[in-house]
Structure formats: structure tokens, C-alpha cells
Amino acid sequence: MSPTLWPDVSLHVVSGKGGTGKTTVAGALAMTLARDGRRTLLMEVEGRQGIAQLFDVPPLPYEERKVAVAPGGGEVWALAVDPEDALLDYLEIFYNLRRAGSALRRMGAVDFATTIAPGLRDVLLTGKACEVVRRAEKQSADAYDAVVLDAPPTGRITRFLNVNNEVSGLAKVGPIRNHADLVMSVIASPRTAVHLVTLLEEMPVQETIDGVAELQAACLPVGGVLVNLARPPRLTDIEMDQALTTGLPITEIEQGLHEAGVTSDIERAANMLAAEGRDHALRVKLEQQEITRLDALDVPVLQLPYVPGGIDLSSLYELASVLSDQGASS
């Protein structure tokens, strides 16, 4: 097992281009961080109920619920954060005004405020994650060892997290600004790591490279790049060079088909397999080029394998073990 990559991180923010499997990777990371008796909270903020689907549980309310047991007796809890409920929490925690907030909600004022001021919405969503992180500092009974935030996609992640800039047009001073400063004291600190999920394809990799640059320019802490759906080469280096130059030897493929018991249309099957071998070698070559681009970012690059048959709870255990072996555990 590799040394732990992020031993002092309490808040893991997971982002990625749409279609990269961001929620699956966030779930696997939460499972990894909950190993050996620890407690992890997995949060989502986009209202998609992706966590409920991933863990095959009923839709999550605005309430922390246990969704899985991790290896070694740990627990994974989950929370779907709603901006309106987060505002009510904010009013109660800081001003003891939940009743007034409920009245505002019935009047539609909460939805109105978060719609016309999306920066306020992001402050409330990130603020909830930071409130959970600070429970550990206060040694609260409901504290967690780690929080994993399934965040918006890469194209919006810097704006989502950089709440100080987002609220500067709303409030220079006062409670909203103070709350944003409190949030940034967690998000822009070594207690937080932002991980970007990608695939070994040109567009997702380029968006990841751009995302890392934007996060670093905003002084937000980049954790690592998590490559999803990675597939190992099926050919040796010599065979791949052969496939891309002279082609795989048809006679050897035909002999292998004979030995496997194939008796009809062997020549056509051998030619099809040779063509597939060339396509595979070309894909591997392109993926190796993308890995080289990611390695140049000088941040940890972890790989999660493609899981045939789709993702279920057992697959999450498998992916969590792979992440742990690469140093992602606490």
C-alpha cells in the first residue's frame, strides 16, 4: 500500500467533466476514507439524488443517513444538501431564527433570494460542508473523520468554491460576508483538497488541465487527478508496436483460433482480430499520451479500473480498495 497522500485533509471536494463518473468516484473515495472504523459523510449539492442511486437507497432527504458499512467497521453517511434548508440551518445556527426562516420559505423569499443571487446559494451549499468539517474541531458527537463533497462539474468548480469573490458584489461587510470568510477559512486551507475526475480522452483531460490551472490561480488547494474507467493494455509492448506497423501475424492468430476449437471462417475471424488489435494498440498509445499530459501537472494521479457490468455496492468496495492501495485512505 502507498503512503497516505492527504493525511491532514478533512474535506475532499470531487469535481469532473460531465460523464466522467464523478459521483461514482466520490462514493468510492468516501468508502475508502471510512475504512477501519472511521466515519465519512458523502454530500451532494446538485439535487440529482446521484448518491441514492449509487448506493441503491431511497431518495435522500435533508438529513444525514447511513448508506453503507466500510471495510473494518467504518460507516459511510450521506446528505443531499438543499439551498433552502441550508439557509434555515444558517439562520438557526448563527441567529436562532429558524422559525423566521420557515416563514420566509413559505412566502417564497428563500427561493427568490438564492435565484437572484447565485453566489449566496453557493455560500450556503459550501457552508454546510464546512459546518460539518468544523464539528470535528468542536469534538461534537456527530462529527466525521472526513467529508466528501460531490461538487459541480469542472467548468464551474472554481467559481463554486471561491465564495469570497462570488459574494463581493452582494456584501462587503455584514453576516453574509462573515459567513463567506468563515467558509473560505476551511476551503482555502490545507484541510481541503479538490480532486478532479477525468477519462483518458483528449477533451476531459484538457478540461482537467484547465481546471487545475484555474484552481491554483484562485489559491484553492488541488488534491489529485482521479482517472476513471482505466483499462490495462491487452498486448505486450512488442505486440503493440507490431500491431501499429506491420500488423499482428495472421497465421499465429489463425493457429490460436484452431487451438481454441474454432473451425469455420477462420481467416475472416483472424483478420477481424488483427484489426481489433490495431485499434486497441492505437487507443493505448493515445491514452499513454494523455497520462503524460496529466503527469506534467505535478499532482498525484490515481487510476480506477473499468468495471464490467456497471456499478453496484460490491463494485464500490472494489474501487475503494484500489484507491486505498494508491494512498487515498486516511
The C-alpha atoms of residue 198 and residue 58 are separated, in whole angstroms, by 28
Q: Which amino acid is at 242?
A: Q
175-187 and 83-95 helices, crossing angle to 10°: 110
| 3-class state of residue 329 by DSSP | coil
- pLDDT > 70? residue 102: no
Q: In the structure, what pLDDT confidence band is assigned to residue 234 with cuts at 50, 70 and 90?
A: confident
Cell numbers placing 130: 464546512
Q: Which of 225, 143, 215, 220 is nearest to 189 (CA)?
A: 220
Residue 136 has what pLDDT?
Answer: 84
pLDDT at 329 over 90: no
Question: Which pLDDT does position 110 carry in this prediction?
Answer: 54
Q: Give the CA distances from residue 206 to residues 20, 38, 143, 202, in Å, rounded to whole numbers and listed in that order.
A: 13, 35, 37, 6
Q: What is the pLDDT of residue 106?
A: 61
Please report the pLDDT score of residue 100 as a whole number. 54
Rounded-to-integer distance, Cα 67 and Cα 150, Å: 15
244-290 tens-digit pLDDT? 898 898 988 888 888 888 888 888 998 899 999 999 889 999 999 99
Q: How many CA atoms lie within 13 A of 112 on its CB side?
A: 6
CA distance 243 to 247: 4
For 11-231+306-323, CATH number? 3.40.50.300
Strands 192-198 and 222-230: parallel
Which tens digit of pLDDT belongs to each residue from 182-195?
888 999 999 999 99
Query: Do residues 148 and 12 lie in contact, with contact meaning Cβ atoms separated by under 8 Å?
Result: yes
Q: How confident is the model at residue 122 (pLDDT cuts 50, 70, 90)?
A: confident
With cell 435522500, the residue in question is: 60
Taking 3-state DSSP, the helix, strand and coil percentages for the chain, each rounded to the nearest 5, stand at 50, 15, 35
Quickly state the pLDDT bin for 233 (edges 50, 70, 90). confident
Q: What is the pLDDT of residue 114?
A: 55
What is the reported pLDDT for 119? 67
pLDDT band at 137 (very low <50, low <70, confident <90, very high): confident
Q: What are the boundaries of each domain within the chain?
A: 11-231+306-323, 232-297
pLDDT in tens, 292-326: 999 999 999 999 999 988 899 999 999 999 999 99
State pLDDT tens for residues 39-86.
999 999 988 999 999 999 999 989 999 999 998 999 999 999 987 777
Task: Report the pLDDT value the prediction gives residue 177, as an integer from 0 to 100.
Answer: 72
Question: 94, 191, 88: which is closest to 147 by C-alpha?
Answer: 191
